[in-house]
């Protein structure tokens, strides 16, 4: 079964390909059909994931899968949340996003945070999309550590660990990550619905 993946983020593409490797689902990146950026105009992860899945399904004529994910910091009332990728502005990048977050939280005692991943699957032949959810809990540290991962991984220390997401092995990351949780739930949903 072919599914178009509504993401151009190379880190996410690698993770999804790894997570779907033992299924008979072939993920096709949206870049095969369009180079346009999809405007994330929703007010929630669910809305943004659905917007991306709908766009991908329409231009590819295939079932689609989209992820919207973010980092939520307790002391910042859940920010950056759905704005995680563009926290430092539209021209921002991982490094600038991390710098801004560390500045915002520098005087806060509470460092608790969690990564959230919401997946939306849309089959043009079905009326209702499927959604699945995943979370990973931890805290924000004072300065980046580790060379792996992407996004906020170097400043996110995993709960019950002394390591950041950028320091743990790929195997461990793919065992515990928020995206792993939402993807495994989605694969189960697709199986139970006899979609694949």
* CB-count exposure of residue 155 (10 Å: 0-12, 13-18, 19+): buried
Q: Is 68 a catalytic residue?
A: yes
Under DSSP, the state recorded for 48 is H
- The span from the CA of 4 to the CA of 8, in Å, is 11
Query: How far apart, in Å, are the Cα atoms of 140 and each of 21, 36, 102, 144?
Result: 32, 33, 8, 9
Q: What is the three-class DSSP state of 171? A: helix
Pairing label, strands 156-158, 130-140: antiparallel
- Name the region of 151 (left: φ>0; alpha: ψ -120 to 50; beta: rest): left
Question: Rounded distance, CA 179 to CA 196, Å?
Answer: 20
Query: In angstroms, how far is CA 63 from the centroid of its own chain?
Result: 19
Q: Exactly one of 37, 67, 68, 94 is catalytic; which is it?
A: 68
Residue 195 to residues 109, 134, 141: CA-CA distances in angstroms?
A: 47, 21, 42
As annotated, the active-site residues are 68
């Amino acid at each position: 079964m072919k599914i178009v993946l509504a993401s151009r983020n190379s880190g996410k593409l690698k993770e999804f390909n790894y997570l779907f490797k033992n299924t008979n689902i072939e993920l096709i990146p949206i870049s095969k059909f369009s180079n346009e950026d999809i405007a994330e105009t929703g007010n929630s992860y669910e809305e943004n994931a659905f917007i991306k899945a709908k766009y991908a399904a329409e231009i590819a004529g295939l079932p689609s899968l989209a992820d919207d994910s973010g980092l939520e910091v307790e002391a910042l009332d859940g920010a950056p949340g759905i704005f995680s990728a563009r926290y430092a502005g539209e021209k921002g990048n991982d490094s600038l996003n991390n710098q801004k977050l560390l500045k915002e939280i520098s005087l806060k005692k509470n460092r608790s945070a969690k990564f959230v991943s919401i997946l939306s699957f849309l089959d043009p032949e079905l009326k209702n999309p499927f959604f699945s959810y995943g979370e990973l809990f931890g805290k924000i540290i004072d300065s980046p550590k580790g060379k792996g991962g992407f996004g906020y991984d170097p400043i996110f220390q995993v709960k019950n660990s002394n390591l950041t997401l950028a320091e743990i092995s790929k195997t461990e990351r793919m065992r515990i990550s928020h995206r792993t949780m939402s993807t495994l739930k989605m694969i189960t949903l697709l199986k139970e619905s006899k979609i694949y």
